[in-house]
Structure 1
């Protein structure tokens, strides 16, 4: 199935911005009458992680609507078949098979939890079908267990740990403790934070760690255990309801008093906003300073999102939006929905991120995108927390070089 050469060239920046501003005016029914849709099978943990994935799906639908309003891919609209894996790898693999065999999707996409993403990546490898991973942060996805058919959008645990270590190394804290959910993502984040901080600060010491079960943290016991370690700095990787419970107990018991805290993801609105007036001051975090980003691309996206959904975007919204934009860029380049052509086209594609911070590239070397993250500090203002003193950390600056990647990644 070959598209026109015009489709392969893709729209320019002016058309992209026009599509964002158009927001809710897509006409998929008209497009379907003109050509068969390109179907994408999207699998995610919607019921298990609704705080992130509700906004993610909204961002996905907004981007799909804009791509279709601009003519689709060579006149063919994008159409997505969504499935919920409920956070279970075995369900994700079963659904992947159903999407390919019964729904006849051209490619698979999505994934939130790292162990689920790894299961989908292995399915893609075994079945030789393209998988565009949106959110799973484990480094194994593109390095130790990387494969020809898997590509990943978001900055990984290595990348975000490196961004945070850059700031943590400036702190006077020498005694560090860690707390993270006990699965692939949490374990990987702690591993890299420890290794990268020790490289920059050989004088630091890690005095203990806590690995509570994902979604079932005993926050009181966890805080007590950390307090007994007497750390000067804490690296936190908990998120969602675990983060809320951890912060509440930590505030109550004074765990954070006089201590530096470095925290992955905690500046994302879906995790920061629920803290309300319990938001701690001064944590160093990765996140998304939505309200302060005023570049034209992001402002247009934010306005279109608010017009369509009556709400402001979250970090998940950008991830969903960007995933569709990346897939669309790949399809324009591939001019085909044959798997091998799409895989080859994904290598080196570039697209404009909804953050408005410029182009993102999917590295041919390891299939990792160069999308970055914002690094800043939390601040309680009135009864809500904000991310302040932030900067955008370009993902390309926090990735290992070719020699290291080749040592980690299996040869195709």
Structure 2
């Protein structure tokens, strides 16, 4: 997705994953507990390369400490290439041929929804890490699907707190034209107009994911003459959008609020083109000095000879949550695992305390950081950041019941 991680041949990626997954200490009691992990490794390498590393670091740490239930954890990684139909096919193979105890992963929202539907139909546990669509746990939520990351609703609510303080009244939006982008725009618009009724949205641009015509998009936004812009593009689309926006002066004297843009995997490739002052959600890796986070950051750097990304935290956290669930269930049957996952708590690698998977909707209370972009030398970073606890940005139980299918 970005220039820092090349797209490798699919066979090479999977071969490397399999070799890494098998590197585990011997355990005295029973064979390995197998987890089927499905993700868009070759389609979205900027996030998912670090994600895989974070996952493997957690797995190695757990196995070095004796595993779970006296058995090592083993992950069978599969690449869905960003295609929902491939993800469903691979899920069936992992479940029926490889006899995995549960499924995990997912990056794109449409892929996550397909896996969630598969889990429901086949009554198998699916632990989603990254898909941000709210439908995964609300309108299309089910007993067997859980999600780690703060959703589009949650991140929109975090950003609206800051956007509502701006003097801007006329807003334009730009977002990728699929479930994630559409959901993010919907919630940002709705929540901002609720917080600040005088705001109006004067136009929108929905380019295809990975195929933005950045020049035309910037021209269209400029013609709308907005006071501020809400941006949801990421990866190569974000890079092209920022480059054209800088060239054409789109961001001069204009506020920008941007989802995900403070994550190192998307911010660092901007290099010296990083804009100053954007309000973003992200991960201030280098200035987050909680001891638990420092220990994670140092262990990751020692293991992989590079700094972690946001994806690294997601992979590490999801593996820790799964291990905690298996310990609590003290069994590998699907129904026991689902019951154990409801209300499970684990300590996040962010070092911000424990995270809970809510029983009512299976959404984790993991938060993220809200701050502003700042160019430091030749690379961008986050400044003036705060941690937004996910529990504060979730709807109440009555609202969830009205959104989520019952039974």
Q: TM-score, normalised by structure 2?
A: 0.94
Q: In 2, Cα distance between the equivalents of 1:165 and 1:407?
A: 23
Residues 71 and 27 of structure 1: CA distance in aligned 2, closer, same or farther (over 3 Å): farther
2:26 — aligned with what?
30
Q: 1:27, CA displacement in angstroms?
A: 7.4
Give 5+ residue unaligned stretches, structure 1: 1-23
**Of residues 166, 185, 191 in structure 2, which corresponds to 1:190?**
185
**Of residues 75, 78, 91 in structure 2, which corresponds to 1:80?**
75
Aligned with 1:207: secondary structure?
strand
Matched, 1:124 2:119: yes
Aligned with 2:280: secondary structure?
strand
1:268-287 paired onto structure 2 within 5 Å = 268-287=263-282
**Of residues 317, 321, 330 in structure 1, which corresponds to 2:312?**
317
Q: In 1, Cα distance between the equivalents of 2:77 and 2:86?
A: 13
Q: 1:29, CA displacement in angstroms?
A: 3.4
2:96 — aligned with what?
101
1:14-163 paired onto structure 2 within 5 Å = 28-31=24-27, 33-163=28-158
Residues 209 and 27 of structure 1: CA distance in aligned 2, closer, same or farther (over 3 Å): closer
Q: 1:382, CA displacement in angstroms?
A: 1.4
**How many matched pairs?**
387
The root-mean-square deviation of aligned C-alpha atoms, in Å, is 1.1
Q: In 1, Cα distance between the equivalents of 2:195 and 2:244?
A: 31
1:213 — aligned with what?
208
Q: Which moved more, 1:203-212 or 1:294-303?
A: 294-303
**Of residues 226, 231, 234 in structure 2, which corresponds to 1:236?**
231
Q: Is the Cα–Cα contact under 8 Å of residues 27 and 68 in structure 1 kept in the other structure?
A: no
Aligned with 1:29: secondary structure?
coil
Aligned with 2:26: secondary structure?
helix
Q: Which has the higher contact order (CA 8 A, sep 6+)?
A: 1
2:175 — aligned with what?
180
Q: In 1, Cα distance between the equivalents of 2:303 and 2:201?
A: 47
Q: 1:186, CA displacement in angstroms?
A: 0.1
1:20 — aligned with what?
none
Aligned with 1:173: secondary structure?
coil
Q: TM-score, normalised by structure 1?
A: 0.93
1:19 — aligned with what?
none
Residues 27 and 384 of structure 1: CA distance in aligned 2, closer, same or farther (over 3 Å): closer
1:260 — aligned with what?
255
Matched, 1:399 2:394: yes
Q: Is the Cα–Cα contact under 8 Å of residues 27 and 69 in structure 1 kept in the other structure?
A: no
Aligned with 1:30: secondary structure?
coil
Matched, 1:378 2:373: yes
1:289 — aligned with what?
284
Q: 1:398, CA displacement in angstroms?
A: 0.1
Q: 1:35, CA displacement in angstroms?
A: 2.0
Structure 1 moving runs of 4+ over 3 Å: none
